[in-house]
Structure 1
Amino acid sequence: MTQHDRVPLTLIGGLSPTANTRLTDTLRAGDPGTAVVHHDLRHIGSGVVRRRLQLGHRDQLTALELAHGCVSCTLREDLLPLLRRLGRMPEVRRILVRLDPAMEPEPVSWALHHVLVGDRPVLADLRIEAVYSALDHASWFEAATGEDTLAECGLQASAEDERTLAQVALAQVEFADVLVLDGVATDGWSAARTAAVLDRVAPTAPRVELAGADGSTLRAAVPAEARRGELTDQHGALLRGQPPLHTDCGICLFTFTARRPFHPQRLHAAIDVLLDGVVRTRGRAWVASQPDVAFWIESAGGGLGIGHAGGWLAAAEGPEWLEVSPERRTLAALRWDPAFGDRAQELVIVAHQAIPEEIEAALHGALLTDEELAAGEQAWLRYPDPFGSWHEEPCADNELAPGRHDAGAQTGKDDTL
């Protein structure tokens, strides 16, 4: 089956259920061959997910009882098999997946690419045509720069979900091919600040006003070079497109780079500087006490996450050159250090109320001193490490990985498919 022959699949995300619904209805209008799938996660803490399937004149609601109430189980046990079945139905010409407000599109795309349904992933039969993010003009900026958690807003995807609205809001727009704005901004200043943030975190995504737009307009807005579900290479370029580097409405973008490692304790003490007045931080970090592993740091609003992004190419157990993307090989070759290889600090920071010079000073203060650097790796390994050993919960809701857990039992009557 060629890429052209596969049924097109569109992912629709966003924090606002109203904007999501309006966008989905606009994309579906007038096409009885478009199937719409939506999983409502509001009762997932009780192990129940409500799935709505629309196709032609059918509008079917199904209550699903999951053995383990989480987003990963919802994807593996129901959404992915359902998409596989829909893709084989002759009357289905297009599929729209309206994501729950708590869902980020990139983990869903990862599952579409990698999780097997039967003997192959869903994208063996389907293709991602576009990823849209619907934004409410009146509320998006406050969500993206605030400290409210999903739990505080009644949107958490599980009892263990500690993400902030800002983390989800920014992840949704950064992965989108098109941003669709709905409603009216509270005032001109709010609209200008929203535009300034979007210019810097999603510079390649066109913005379309939903009012007056139809399905053809929205589909035509997808750029030819859109990523269409392409997964993020955590060792690739951190800036997509050409975001503006000047300050606008108090919003500014700047980078922090260094060719020496962080001291683990000083980094741990300094890292709060990425939370106060910072809209977004993304990038790689090199920590002296774990010299073979690249750290991935993301912050948004009042939430911050730190994880592993795999080994450096220079590490003894790191990936081979031919195993990584051409982009990563090129970037590594350009910055290769005779002693430390591709190890480096690279963070992109979008600030709102913070002072860039203060952030840079705090991060520079967390780097090894000349004396510490000269002591060498054996001394670094003895540093107390507050980041500790890495542990993954068996069912993390905001991240999917192969083999995280086995699919459990599921019940839910479905008379159509």
Structure 2
Amino acid sequence: MARPDAHLLVGFERLDGAELVSRRFSQARRDTWRYPAHEQQLPDLGAGHAWRIDLSSPRPFHPERLLDHIETLADGPFRSRGCFWVPTRPQDALEWSGAGGQLSIGAYSTWGRRTPRTRLIFTGTGAPPAGLEGAFERLLLAPEEALLRRRSWDVLEDGLEPWLGDIHDLA
């Protein structure tokens, strides 16, 4: 599950002092790998036993469907990470991080000048679970819902407050 160019150390007894203080850590590289808000091309996994499914859309998740069916994307023996947005919080870039059926979602930053997108990357071993692509598509706003004017999504609550906090950008 590590970045392909990450230095892996098996056993802390092999760590020497010079390596420990070498300052090889790069927060920018870590964030690019951990938070795939842009269309970064992921390296090929090769012919091993691991699989990866990269799902991406410019459309947001529908807040109610996300709450009602989040387990369709979160429950399974795999690692998932990514970013998403909801139309009730159009400025908020939201983070998704899951592993083995446990999921954490939260506010990461604002989109700023970046174009909002929903992108989830699933990685696991064995056979990939069936239906991830369909579940992802069902949680997104349908094209006709996405055409609704912004004011139709101006609400005081969207049900995501326990994880994302209060909605702040009401007109």
User: 2:142 is matched with which residue: 358, 369, 372?
Assistant: 369
Q: Is it true that 1:244 corresponds to 2:44 in the alignment?
A: yes
Deviations 1:187-229 (A, max 9, x none): xxxxxxxxxxx4xx3322223443984627x829x9x89325x
Q: Check the 8 A contact 1:261/1:288 in 2, yes or no.
A: yes
Q: What are the equivalent positions in structure 2 for 1:15-414 lying under 5 Å apart?
A: 198=1, 201-210=2-11, 213=14, 215=16, 219=19, 226-227=24-25, 230=27, 232-233=30-31, 238=36, 243-246=43-46, 248-249=48-49, 251-314=50-113, 332=114, 342-352=115-125, 355=128, 358-382=131-155, 385-388=158-161, 390-391=164-165
Q: Check the 8 A contact 1:277/1:353 in 2, yes or no.
A: no
The amino acid across from 2:59 in the alignment is: R
When residues 295 and 247 of structure 1 are mapped into structure 2, their CA distance, relative to the original with a 3 A threshold, is farther
Q: Check the 8 A contact 2:34/2:82 in 1, yes or no.
A: no
Q: Distance in 2 between matches of 1:364 and 1:275?
A: 14
When residues 241 and 370 of structure 1 are mapped into structure 2, their CA distance, relative to the original with a 3 A threshold, is closer
Q: Distance in 2 between matches of 1:352 and 1:299?
A: 15
Find the residue that maps to 1:227 and give its secondary structure: coil
Equivalent pairs: percent with the same residue? 26
Q: Distance in 2 between matches of 1:243 and 1:234?
A: 13
2:169 alignment partner in structure 1: none
Q: Distance in 2 between matches of 1:214 and 1:381?
A: 53
Find the residue that maps to 2:79 and give its secondary structure: strand
Q: Check the 8 A contact 1:204/1:240 in 2, yes or no.
A: no
Find the residue that maps to 2:109 and give its secondary structure: strand
Q: Distance in 1 between matches of 2:44 and 2:32?
A: 22
TM-score (norm 1): 0.33
Q: Distance in 2 between matches of 1:353 and 1:207?
A: 23
Q: Check the 8 A contact 2:84/2:94 in 1, yes or no.
A: yes
Query: Whose radius of gyration is greater, 1 or 2?
Result: 1
The amino acid across from 1:385 in the alignment is: D
Find the residue that maps to 1:281 and give its secondary structure: strand
Deviations 1:62-101 (A, max 9, x none): xxxxxxxxxxxxxxxxxxxxxxxxxxxxxxxxxxxxxxxx
Q: Distance in 2 between matches of 1:204 and 1:240?
A: 15
When residues 302 and 267 of structure 1 are mapped into structure 2, their CA distance, relative to the original with a 3 A threshold, is same
1:236 is displaced (CA, Å) by 8.1
Q: Distance in 2 between matches of 1:288 and 1:213?
A: 49
Find the residue that maps to 1:295 and give its secondary structure: strand
Deviations 1:20-52 (A, max 9, x none): xxxxxxxxxxxxxxxxxxxxxxxxxxxxxxxxx
Q: Distance in 1 between matches of 2:79 and 2:129?
A: 13
Find the residue that maps to 1:349 and give its secondary structure: strand
Q: Check the 8 A contact 1:254/1:356 in 2, yes or no.
A: no
The amino acid across from 2:134 in the alignment is: A
The amino acid across from 1:310 in the alignment is: S
Q: Distance in 2 between matches of 1:363 and 1:376?
A: 23
1:345 is displaced (CA, Å) by 0.8
Find the residue that maps to 2:69 and give its secondary structure: helix
Q: Check the 8 A contact 1:293/1:308 in 2, yes or no.
A: yes
Q: Distance in 1 between matches of 2:148 and 2:40?
A: 37
